[in-house]
Amino acid sequence: MIFVTGGAGFIGSNFVLDWLAQCGEPVVTIDSLTYAGNLENLASLSGDARHLFVKGDIADTALIASLLATHQPRAVLNFAAESHVDRSIHGPEDFIQTNIVGTFRLLEAVRSYWGGLPADAKAAFRFLHVSTDEVYGSLAKDEPAFLETHRYEPNSPYSASKAASDHLVRAYHHTYGLPVLTTNCSNNYGPYHFPEKLIPLMIVNALAGKPLPVYGDGLQIRDWLYVKDHCSAIRRVLEAGTPGEVYNIGGWNEKPNLDIVHTVCALLDEMRPRPDGNPYAAQISYVKDRPGHDRRYAIDASKIERELGWKPAETFETGIRKTVAWYLAHPDWVAHVQSGAYKVWTARQYEHIPHDPATQPARATA
């Protein structure tokens, strides 16, 4: 039995689905079902005796302690996090509460549970903390990619809160001996991605005939990791990682945001052409850059390949094609996640974008 916190979110739900498909070991999934947590992501597990879903907050120490005592998991995997940079700029407190206070309280409950285990179960137990490359800060164009030893330099409330959670996890290992593992991943993409992030937002807006908002010049560089590759890496770290160690997980796919947008547009032109025959790239609209926008992230994932034998199975070209195809095949999921709250958020975040994409054709193709 394993515990997965944040298991109804994007990465967490993909992990739960892949875990049960790959090895079948029972899972208790805990999620507070905020705007990005969606039980529809786990709908295929309805009635599956191997899976139990519990609505709850990782900051609820009594609930977590009770669940641990009842189900006796051999591992806890912490995916629970507020993760959207833009939202952290507008409302940082939620990020402090979930990513720092929540992680602290979860660690306390897990430490108490682990301390009471028999010696063999105690030695085999693992706490795996899922984090981000954004804790390392920003890179110049020609700087080497992030290694696990790179200095932490978070630049947004989101990345600062994740950096704090990473430090807490590390401290619980060095102070209390809790057998922890930390993974720092690059930008994920794939099925069940909430459409506030770049790739799903572009797909959803393109199909709706809305502008495709690109921050600044669109040349911010990210390393892109297909979510199912991320899941396989986490399984491998849980299986063979050394307690106390950090493992960077990346896709070896550094690309500017604007290239990503044009790739999505080209795939949609092929797979779902616009009725008027025009390219989706005509909907691209450049908007004011967000405050403190990091210019480049890049993950050096050589350690996990060298020590644990993992490397991504998907190229960006294969992964992005699968992703666009998934969204085209799941219009009901897309419609259901676009709630009133989501519409209010997107209207607020991108309110300065012209409603008619045809008013900016020159900038869209520049």
Catalytic-residue membership of 133: yes
Give the side-chain half-sphere CA count within 13 A for 281: 17
Would you tell me how many other CB atoms lie within 10 Å of the CB of residue 291?
Answer: 10
Catalytic-residue membership of 148: no
DSSP 122: H
Contact call for residues 203 and 331 (beta carbons, < 8 A):
no
Catalytic residue among 133, 196, 254, 314: 133
Dihedral, CA of residue 95, residue 133, residue 256 and residue 252, to nearest 10: -150
Dihedral, CA of residue 342, residue 88, residue 319 and residue 40, to nearest 10: -40
Residue 221: is it exposed, middle or buried by C-beta count within 10 angstroms (0-12/13-18/19+)? middle
Residue 234's identity, in one-letter code, is I
Catalytic residue among 86, 134, 166, 223: 134
Catalytic residue among 136, 158, 226, 280: 158
Catalytic-residue membership of 60: no
Contact call for residues 21 and 68 (beta carbons, < 8 A):
no
Residue positions annotated with a catalytic role = 133-134, 158
